[in-house]
Amino acid sequence: MYLVVGLGNPDKIYQNTPHNLGFMCADMFAQKLGVKFSKNECKALTAHARVDGQKVIVAKPLTYMNLSGEAVSALCRKYKVEKGRLVVVYDDIDIPMGKLRIRAQGSAGTHNGMKNILLHLGTEDFARVRVGIGKETPLSRIDYVLSQLSPADHDLLDIAIENASDALCDFVKGASPDDLMQKYNSK
């Protein structure tokens, strides 16, 4: 069983913001699997699929970004997610706009949603797909990540979302984080 979690904020006003890239990637991934988000469980909206005989749960926490760990830890407990079967996809302001960085494990960096997940899980030992949103801006970090994306941003990010959802597909088909890093980190 695999658990794929996209991070974001549930209110409509956040739908087109850099901080909701995790949700956008989860939506594209679910679309590629042919499933819809139809279940509200463990403080998350979930979609359930089967890939190569394996159950796959795609989740979008409804707890707001900074409390994402509540939903992720509850889903991990409920479904007894095994080590190496969790991947979290989210925005990263420290990576250039539209670039992907996949890692097998690591710290939360400056991302508060990831900090909360690490706190609740008590480990850094799970895969993550980070989508870059970094660029020069006069806005504070908080104002920027909650601002509306421009059409020019979408040009870069639509490609990144496609690549991230492809990486997630490869992950649930058994590709290792190392393989994904080699294939996608240069994109």
Asked if the model's pLDDT at residue 116 lies above 90, the reply is yes
Read off the pLDDT band of 110 (50, 70, 90).
Answer: confident
Which tops the pLDDT comparison, 126 or 135?
126
Asked if the model's pLDDT at residue 187 lies above 70, the reply is no
Distance separating alpha carbons of residues 139 and 160, to the nearest angstrom:
23
Catalytic residues: 19
| 70-87 pLDDT per residue, tens | 999 999 999 999 989 999
Amino acid 109: pLDDT: 86
- Residue 105 phi/psi, 5-degree rounding, is -170, 180
Query: Which pTM was predicted?
Result: 0.96
Domains of the chain: 2-184 (3.40.50.1470)
Share of the chain above pLDDT 90, in %: 91
Amino acid 81: pLDDT: 97
| 26-80 pLDDT per residue, tens | 999 999 999 999 999 999 999 999 999 999 999 999 999 999 999 999 999 999 9
Residue 90: closest CA among 177, 4, 182:
4
